[in-house]
Structure 1
Amino acid sequence: MHLLFVADPLEIFNPKKDSTLAMMREAQRRGFAVWACEPRNLHWSSGGAPAEGAWVRANCRHVQVLEGAKPWFGEVEHVDRALHSFAGVIMRKDPPFDNEYFYATHLLEQAEREGARVFNRPRALRDHPEKLAILEWPQFIPHTLVSRDLAQLRAFAASERDIIIKPLDGMGGSGIFRLRAAADGSPDVNLSVALETLTDWGRRTIMAQRFIPEIAKGDKRVLVIGGEPVPFALARIPQGGETRGNLAAGGLGVAQPLTAADRSIADTLGPVLAARGLLLVGLDIIGERLTEINVTSPTCFVEITQQTGYDVAARFIDAVQAAIG
């Protein structure tokens, strides 16, 4: 069987920690032929030769994962193929969720109509923006405001006194600010400029949340596969005075068993999200509060496996095999 991974360029993968590569390696170990393309390689046209049909196709690279080699892959062949000819298509393009990502989901959804099996499902990717998807479960999230109104945001900061503000389309901790009122109650000296910058003077919607002190113990990534949580989370612990725990921002990743609160959140959301076509989800939890639902390209496979021995990639490929039948 053949699996196609729609991802970033293979040349920029980090072989030491890339979760997509871990998936590819496990798929190859099980006898799958591993293929890769980028979203820019997807295309559809009508009016061609009748034998070709009007299918969503991609210029794909058939690759072999090489152990301990540089580069980490060898290219077997490079051909144009219809997506429905693969046993499964794994959408692993990293954010940002920009217009090109949006268009790619529509092409992938058309490929589904033509018979392709796509994970995560394209419509589910569009329906679950990673910052805003948490609003469906207010019982699990910190006090939150989503707005572009500067007066509302200032009032929220005054009420909460210690807040985080972030763009709705950021990743890896980019664009996140912590704003704290002074002991006398006066606002953070950077409050106005931070709000004006992130909202572009009220033209862009952002999220503000009550600061969660438990971030000092880590921003936990809980992976949910096929509706069931992986038994270990990766706590991404801020370093060097940072507020952000993201690995991309220098956080230290420490694997740990799920807490009762982690399991409660995962057990509530997991079956619902799986039923919507989200085979793989990454829940971000600080303390006992859900802060984000990652659906585009959840990571931390390698770190959890290396530190605990629990093979996350094997669990994921198990789920893919079960889904494609």
Structure 2
Amino acid sequence: MNIAFLMDPLESISPAMETTSWLMYECNQRGHKVLYLEPHDIYVRKNQLVARMRDVSVPPDLGIEQYWRCCLDCLGREELIFEEMIELDAMFLRKDPPLQHQIMEFLTPVQDKVFLINSTTGQMAGNSKLYLLNFPEITPETHISRDPIRLRKVIESFGGNMVVKPLMRSRGEGVIKVSMHDRDNLNSLIHFYVNSFEPYPRRESIMVQEYLEQVKENGDVRILLLNGEIIGAMGRIPAEDDFRTNIHAGATPVKHKITDSDRAICAAIKDRLIKDGLFFVGIDIIADKLVEINCVSPGGIPRINQLNNDKLESKVIDFVEEKVLEIKAKRGNN
């Protein structure tokens, strides 16, 4: 099969701990042609969507670091592959956030012919924290506004700590804990986050969400879902001087045993994820509440593998192969 990875520059990847590199490695091990491209490599020629790609297929059975060096060596070759997108069997959309909406719009017309992980329409719907509003029964108390006065009243009436989250950022960037104990700074922070110096229509809406106290001691849980089913999980304990559970913010991954509450949350969102074409996602749970759905380049495979002696990338590629065969069978019947 021809399997492409639309992603960040290869040189920016640390292969041992990146989900993308392990997915590529597994495809290469199975003998698939692995193609690499970045968002700027997509264009239209004679009404057809085309991409300029590099073949980064290399010999199998290398260690991950050596494998990645061989992939990087492929970049030094002069030849580029210019191919219509519909000639691909599958494409992983693994460009780190923020989501590039123009690329999603480019790819949407071909997603019934090429299996995209995840679908463009699903990513455009699910990349924002607003996607959580589809599941109010299992999420913390949430308010979203661009009005500083309204936001301050929310925090005042809530009484306890709350978390401020920019809607379109990732990896814990810009996430802060606030309360009425520091009124002067709170007022300044709210005005800063919403860009209150701008006219109201141009301000930025922010999310203010209930702070779940259990996170400091117990951390959160990252669960990876494939076609709505749990394939792996880990706990993440925040650093001593932080409350954020993102690994990039210094949190420590720990082994986690799936609970009945975890399963109930996953069951509650399964049908919607599949309907939206969000086949491979990472969700974050704190104290039996769903706090994040990550559908744009979700991560966690290497660390969960280490904790559980697993090989989750194999399960993902098994699924991709099955979906590609389904698409080919449908096209053959039409």
Say if 1:83 and 1:89, in contact at 8 Å, map to a contact too: no
1:130 Cα offset (Å): 3.3
Distance 2:292 2:57 in 1: 34
- With over 3 angstroms needed to count, the CA separation of the structure-2 counterparts of 1:246 and 1:72, relative to structure 1, is farther
- Per-residue deviation at 1:191? 0.6
Match of 1:71 among 69, 72, 80: 69
Q: 1:257: how far off?
A: 1.7
Cα offset for 1:72?
A: 5.2
Q: Is the 8 A contact 1:4 1:90 kept in 2?
A: yes
Q: Would you say 1:61 and 2:60 are equivalent positions?
A: no
- Partner Cα distance (1:255, 1:5) in 2: 29
Alignment of 1:1-325 (within 5 A): 1-46=1-46, 54-64=47-57, 66-67=62-63, 68-69=65-66, 71=69, 73=71, 74-75=73-74, 77-97=79-99, 101-112=100-111, 115-160=113-158, 161-182=160-181, 187-201=182-196, 203-216=203-216, 217-230=218-231, 232-325=232-325
Counterpart in the other structure of 1:49: none
1:36-76 CA-to-partner distances (Å, cap 9, x unmatched) read 10111111132xxxxxxx32111101103552326252417
Check the 8 A contact 1:166/1:198 in 2, yes or no: no
> How far off is 1:276 after superposition?
2.1
SS at 2:17 equivalent? coil
Residue 110 of structure 1, CA deviation? 2.3
Unaligned runs of 5+ residues in structure 1 are 47-53
Q: Which amino acid aligns with 1:117?
A: F
Q: 2:328 aligns to what?
A: none
User: Contact 1:150 / 1:195 at 8 angstroms: preserved in 2?
Assistant: yes
Report the Cα distance in structure 1 between the residues aligned to 2:293 and 2:183, rounded to whole angstroms: 29
1:220-270 residue CA offsets vs partner (Å, 9 max, x unmatched): 21111011112x322221113101111111111113122211111111212
- Mapped to 1, the partners of 2:251 and 2:240 lie a distance apart of 9
SS at match of 1:298: coil
Please report how far the alpha carbon of residue 171 of structure 1 lies from its aligned counterpart in structure 2 after TM superposition: 0.9
More moved, 118-127 vs 70-79: 70-79
Which consecutive residues of structure 2, in runs of 5 or more, have no partner in the other structure? 326-334
Identity of aligned residues (%): 29
Which one has a larger percent helix, Structure 1 or Structure 2? 2
Alpha-carbon separation, structure 2, partners of 1:199 and 1:235:
32
* 1:164 aligned partner, one-letter code: V
Q: CA deviation at 1:204?
A: 0.6
Query: d(CA) in 2 for partners of 1:298 and 1:249?
Result: 16
TM (norm. structure 2) is: 0.88
8 Å contact kept, 2:221–2:256: no
Pairwise CA distance, 1:78? 2.5
CA RMSD across the alignment: 1.6
For residue 282 of structure 1, give the secondary structure of its aligned residue in structure 2: strand
What secondary structure sits across from 1:304 in the alignment?
Answer: helix
Shift of 1:281: 1.1
The alpha carbon displacement at 1:274 in A equals 1.4
Tell me the secondary structure at the aligned position of residue 64 of structure 1: coil
Cα separation, 2, equivalents of 1:133 and 1:19: 23
Tell me the alpha carbon deviations over residues 286-323 of structure 1, each in whole angstroms, 9 at most, x when there is no partner. Answer: 11111111111100000001110222111111111111
CA contact 2:219–2:286 (8 Å) conserved in 1: yes
Verify the 8 A CA contact 1:219 1:246 in the aligned structure 2. no
- Aligned partners of 2:91 and 2:114 also within 8 Å: yes
Conserved? CA contact 2:52–2:83, under 8 Å: yes
